[in-house]
Every structure is written in C-alpha cells, then in structure tokens.
C-alpha cells in the first residue's frame, strides 16, 4: 500500500516539477519479492529532441524518488548507468533503424508486461500490477512584453 501511494505521489508531482518537463509518458510494473517486498520498475519515455544525458536524468529521477517521494525509505537502480550489461540495449536515446536498440527495448517492455505470479498471490484480486500513462505537463504562461 505504501509503494502504491508513493507511485501515485510521483506521478502527481511529475506534472508540476520541472525535473520531469521532457517526460512524455511512463510505464510501471509492481513486483513482489520476499526479500524486497513490493517494488516498482519504471520506464520513462522522454522527448529525445529536448532531453539529453539519460544517465544523469535517470539518476536525478531516482534521487527524487528516494529523497522526496519516499522520504529516504526507498531505493532505486539506474539501468541507464549500466548499459554495458545488456547485450541488446534499448536504454537511452533510441535511434530509428537501430535494430539492436529496438530489440533491447522490446525485451524491456516484455519484462514489464510479464505477469508476476508472486504479486498476484499476495495482492487482492482487482489490484493492478501494470500501468502506463501520458504526462500532461502544466504549461507555464509566457510573460507578455509591455510596449
């Protein structure tokens, strides 16, 4: 229940926080492991024309999760900082026509959509373990020049 409340808080805060201004959408998966209890896997889809330095951004998102959202009780793992561990890596800025990156992204999305049998056993019947959403950022008004 705490994990879900933190995810909801993150998604609400993302709409107002400039740190997330280039995020177009998210995909999340709730997992359960006896050692880690409930935890989320998050995929952030960013505007590649505006967002640069994916490793730094992922670190900033993770630190925001850890420090602000969970108030020091949460953890994060930055996959972007460990791209070399993936044979087919779909992490970072995707390049059209790069089949290796496309395969890597497909693997990541396949993992996120895989049913977690442990979570299904522990959660009530109607609880969601997967979701996605678009981020509709509040637009700031531009100051009008006075003549």
Q: How far is CA 131 from the centre of its chain?
A: 11
* Residue 146 pLDDT level (bands cut at 50, 70, 90): low
Give the pTM: 0.83
116 found inside a domain = yes
**Average pLDDT score over the chain:** 87
Whether 146 maps to a domain, the answer reads: no
- Distance (Å, whole) CA 44 – CA 93: 12
Residue 53 is assigned to a structural domain of this protein? yes
Q: Which long-range contacts (CB under 8 A, 24 or more apart) does 78-86 make?
A: 80/54, 80/55, 81/55
- 11 in a domain, yes or no? yes
Q: For residue 7, tell me if it sits in a domain.
A: yes
Residue 62 CA to residue 83 CA, distance in Å, equals 16
pLDDT in tens, 80-127: 999 888 877 888 888 888 888 888 889 989 888 888 888 877 787 778
Within-domain flag for 18:
yes
Structural domain of residue 14, as residue ranges? Answer: 2-134
């Amino acid at each position: 229940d705490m994990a879900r409340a933190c995810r909801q808080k993150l998604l609400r805060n993302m709409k107002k926080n400039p740190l997330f201004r280039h995020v177009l959408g998210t995909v999340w998966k709730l997992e359960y492991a006896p050692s880690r209890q409930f935890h989320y896997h998050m995929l952030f889809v960013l505007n590649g024309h505006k967002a640069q330095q994916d490793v730094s951004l992922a670190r900033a998102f993770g630190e925001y999760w850890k420090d602000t959202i969970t108030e020091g009780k949460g953890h994060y793992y930055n996959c972007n900082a460990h791209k070399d561990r993936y044979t087919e890596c779909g992490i970072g800025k995707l390049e059209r026509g790069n089949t290796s990156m496309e395969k890597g992204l497909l693997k990541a999305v396949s993992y996120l959509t895989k049913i977690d049998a442990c979570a299904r056993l522990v959660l009530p019947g109607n609880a969601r373990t997967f979701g996605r959403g678009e981020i509709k950022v509040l637009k700031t008004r531009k100051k009008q020049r006075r003549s």
